[in-house]
Amino acid sequence: MRRKKTGFTLIELMLVVIIIGILVSMVVPRIAGRSKQARMAAASADINANIATALDMYELDNGGYPTTEQGLKALVTKSDISPIPPNWNGPYVKKIPQDPWSRAYVYKSPGERNADYDLHSLGPDGIESADDITNWQAEAVQ
């Protein structure tokens, strides 16, 4: 009585590995290029929606936005820097937000480009340049 051997041959295994390699080589370049775009979109969402909403709620409660000196910390804890917020009803966010590159957002109130406040991320390079994500540009994230 002869037993039938089961399993894969070396050629079958090599073909599977080659096919997987080809698929990976097609997919990885498409995904790799999206990382910067995804981070820029996340920063834009923070600036134009998440942090903006928290700042607007702060302004509704207190009649004004936090000053530059109070900064975004005023959204987490009641500031003891003048002007003291009269109706602080926070925290407006759970923690002080950082941009997708683990740097602090730059906040200035009153703003130089907007009447209420300027808010921006220094972008991937960490310096003021054309890749900054701001609340004063109406350009779409690319």
Q: What pLDDT score does 1 carry?
A: 61
44-59 residue pLDDT tens: 999 999 999 999 999 9
Distance between terminal CA atoms of the chain? 69
57-92 residue pLDDT tens: 999 999 999 999 999 999 999 999 999 999 999 899
- Could you identify the residue written with the tokens 């991320």? 121
Conformation bin of residue 68: beta by default, left when phi > 0, alpha when psi is -120 to 50: alpha
Task: Name residue 6's amino acid.
Answer: T
80-125 residue pLDDT tens: 999 999 999 989 999 988 999 999 999 999 999 998 999 999 999 9
Torsion on CA atoms 80, 85, 88, 90, rounded to nearest 10? -60
**What is the C-alpha radius of gyration for the chain, rounded to an integer number of angstroms?**
25
Measured CA distances, 32 to 35, 59, 130 (Å): 6, 40, 22
Entry pTM:
0.73
Q: How confident is the model at residue 35 (pLDDT cuts 50, 70, 90)?
A: confident
- Measure the CA–CA gap between 112 and 128, rounded to whole angstroms: 15
Q: What pLDDT score does 140 carry?
A: 42
CATH 3.40.50.970 is the classification of domain 37-134: no
